[in-house]
């Protein structure tokens, strides 16, 4: 199930050191091209702490977390 978190990656900043993958391996993976790959761009709320830790640990500030707006109906 998807949560309201959305992850935005600036691949120009990413240097592929994998800190994010260590913090949240269900969400981030560093590919063979030394660029982060977002496995789950809309992770469940339960992963919020891990995703926030990953963004915080990223030495290049390449990860941004935004809260997706709700779905008005």
Binding site for ligand SF4 (CB under 6 A): 14-20, 28, 30, 36, 58, 60, 62-63
Nearer to ligand SF4, 33 or 73 (CB): 33
- Asked if 62 and 7 touch (Cβ cutoff 8 Å), the reply is no
Residue 68 Cβ, how far from ligand SF4 at the closest point, in Å?
A: 20
Residues 50, 59: Cα–Cα separation, whole Å: 16
* Residue 53 phi, psi dihedral angles, 5° rounding: -65, -40
Nearer to ligand SF4, 5 or 20 (CB): 20
Strand partners, 65: 7
Nearer to ligand SF4, 28 or 43 (CB): 28
């Amino acid at each position: 199930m998807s949560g309201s978190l959305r992850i935005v990656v600036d691949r120009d900043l990413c240097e592929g050191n994998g800190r994010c993958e260590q913090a949240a391996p269900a969400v981030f993976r560093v590919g063979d091209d030394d660029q982060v790959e977002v496995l789950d761009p809309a992770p469940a709320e339960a992963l919020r702490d891990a995703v926030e830790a990953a963004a915080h640990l990223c030495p290049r500030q390449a990860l941004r977390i935004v809260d997706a707006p709700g779905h008005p109906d």
